[in-house]
Structure 1
Amino acid sequence: MTSALRRLVIPALLMTALAGCGSTGPDTYELDEKHIQVDAGEEFTLSVPVDTAMGEWWYLTSPEPDPDVVRKTDKREEIEADDDAVGSGSGTDFFDFKAVAPGTTEIRLIQCPHGACVGDADGPVTPSPVPSGSPTPQKKYRATIHTFTVTVRKS
């Protein structure tokens, strides 16, 4: 190989090899992606927006996904504080899962504005009951359940 050709080929091969090594992490799915397909053994993340100024939080709710198909591995959050108001800001909650074996299951996340849910992260979180005779809360103050259907394929 001539030295001029070597100077072109070697950097190109090195860049190709490095590009293959750079892992970007698990696939991330957002609220508009309700039907998810992954391979067994694959890790994936559900990403949901959080408005901490409204006291909003997200939780995994019941019924939980089939543990023989999908297993929750972690929950993380990234919050960006609003410099203009103490205790306010927005961000993202991340729910990490691992596809265990082929099958289909549902993952249900509950979006909880302040006071709209009962329970805590260690137990089932459900919408707060509305007392009899009370007006129905405005939509932005009600809990909302978001369902993701996950199909795990053989790897």
Structure 2
Amino acid sequence: MISHTRTTDVLPGTRGGAAATAITAAAVLALTTGCDSGPGGSGARATSRPVKDTRITAEPGERFTLTVGQNASTREYWYLVDPEPDRSVLLSRGQAYAADSGAEGTAGAGGRLTFTFEAKGKGTTRFTLLHCTFTTCQGNTASLPPSTASPSAVPTTTATPPAQAPERITYTVTVG
């Protein structure tokens, strides 16, 4: 895990003695407050991983994130679906959505959905992210993932053309 350490120096030749020392101490305190408390701690920082990096290696207590684009106005959603990770090896720590910079409150604007995971114990596990768009998943998929059955290969008599299969990205995580 990367340790974030900040240091500060009083510039040579400056005057101020105790006042400069007090200001420097206050600055160091301000810079270090809320820093990473280490693996598994409440302030544990997560390492951002590329979405296309489907083989991930982590140490117990290490957190990592996967961030994808999502836009509700175009019915584009991502879900954590089966197979979900083995909880003795990897925990899902939830997801968070953030609007694109400067797009807050703008109709039709997209954003980023970040999935956070924490390596728990030694082993290997897999999990899958499902990417739904208006052409790949039917129904209201805003809050729940859709049925993940494949579209029918046999033509139907309905006027609705068969949907394309949604994108699935399966990750293999080794914790050691």
Fold conserved between structures, TM > 0.5? yes
Structure number with the higher helix fraction is 1
Highest CA radius of gyration, 1 or 2? 2
Match of 1:132 among 154, 158, 168: 154
- Unaligned 5+ segments in structure 2 are 1-11, 37-43
CA positional deviation for 1:82: 8.1
Amino acid at match of 1:129: P
Report the TM-score, using the length of structure 2 for normalisation.
Answer: 0.62
For residues 81 and 119 of structure 2, the distance between their equivalents in structure 1, rounded to whole angstroms, comes to: 18
Amino acid at match of 2:126: E
- Count the aligned residue pairs: 144
SS of the aligned residue for 1:117 comes to: coil
Match of 2:168 among 134, 145, 150: 145
Q: Percent identity?
A: 28
Structure number with the higher strand fraction is 1
Query: Are the aligned partners of 2:137 and 2:146 in contact in 1 as well (CA < 8 Å)?
Result: no
Query: Are the aligned partners of 1:40 and 1:99 in contact in 2 as well (CA < 8 Å)?
Result: yes
For residues 36 and 43 of structure 1, the distance between their equivalents in structure 2, rounded to whole angstroms, comes to: 11
CA positional deviation for 1:31: 1.4
Q: RMSD of the alignment, in Å?
A: 3.7
The structure, 1 or 2, with the larger RCO (C-alpha pairs under 8 Å, 6+ apart) is 1
Report the TM-score, using the length of structure 1 for normalisation.
Answer: 0.69
Q: Does 1:38 align with 2:52?
A: no
Match of 1:51 among 66, 71, 74: 71
